[in-house]
Amino acid sequence: MIDNQFILNNFGFLGDDFSLELQKNAIVNSIKAKTEIIREGQKNKFVPFLMKGSIKVFSLNDGRELIYYYIKPNDSCLMTFSSIFSDYTSKIYAVTEEDSEVILISVSVVHEWLIKFPQINRIFYGEYEKRFSDVMNMVNEAVFHRLDKRILSYIKQQINLTGNHPIKLTHREIAANLGTSREVVSRVLKKIENEGEISQSKEGIRISHPKNVSHV
């Protein structure tokens, strides 16, 4: 059963008939952190809507991750939705970053809804706008920012996503997410730690100026 407030906040503009359709067709899954939801090349059978947690959407190239965006509560996955208009084949990987609750809607049902409830397109147009902005930010980070700024930005982003501070991130995990090597990440983290930007301990990585975290 989906929380009525979640339906009202995200789908209320579609009316009571849609709310009944959603309750009837939705599959609610609880998914543990670090679980792969879909991988490149798999067929998409469902369109997800996230109620709780966070999901990382990325591609792999020679074992290195290229992060496109993170799905946050009340979001859907634009890449998954776009695939249902072509061959249903996923072009991305999606992995939960933390324990998550996901609503799954069969792609056949979504096709029916697009005809029966055409205003649902507003949701996906909104997702397109958000994801385009995310990808542009990712490109700007990769092209114009030095690696130390990118690593610091990534740490702050993870704190914002999880609410954990300090946050436990391995050097290998940071390297995989930013497309570099663990050795390089270790050197850069030591450098920005010496500069007073962060501190590292067994509890995790702490930002020295947490008031700036929410502005990342």
Q: Is 93 helix (H, G, I), strand (E, B) or coil?
A: strand
Rounded to two decimals, the pTM is: 0.67
Q: Which amino acid is at 207?
A: I
Evaluate whether 216 touches 154 at the Cβ level (below 8 Å): no
SS3 188: helix
Query: At residue 101, what is the residue type?
Result: E
Beta bridge partners of 116: none
What string of pLDDT tens digits covers the 216 residues of the chain?
687 788 888 888 889 999 999 999 999 999 999 999 999 999 999 989 999 999 999 888 777 778 888 888 888 887 887 888 777 889 899 999 889 999 999 999 999 999 999 998 888 888 888 887 777 776 766 655 688 888 998 899 889 888 889 999 999 888 888 878 888 899 999 999 999 999 999 999 999 876 655 544
Residue 105 phi/psi, 5-degree rounding, is -120, 125
Q: Which two tokens stand for residue 79?
A: 């890449």
Q: What CATH number should be reported for the domain whose range is 4-116?
A: 2.60.120.10
At 209, list the tokens: 């100026």
As assigned by CATH, the class of the 143-207 domain is mainly alpha
Task: Answer whether 48's CB lies under 8 Å from 91's CB.
Answer: no
Six token digits for residue 211: 């008031």
CA 85 from centroid of its chain's CA atoms: 22
Q: Where are the domains of the chain?
A: 4-116, 143-207
Q: Are 147 and 136 in contact (CB under 8 A)?
A: no
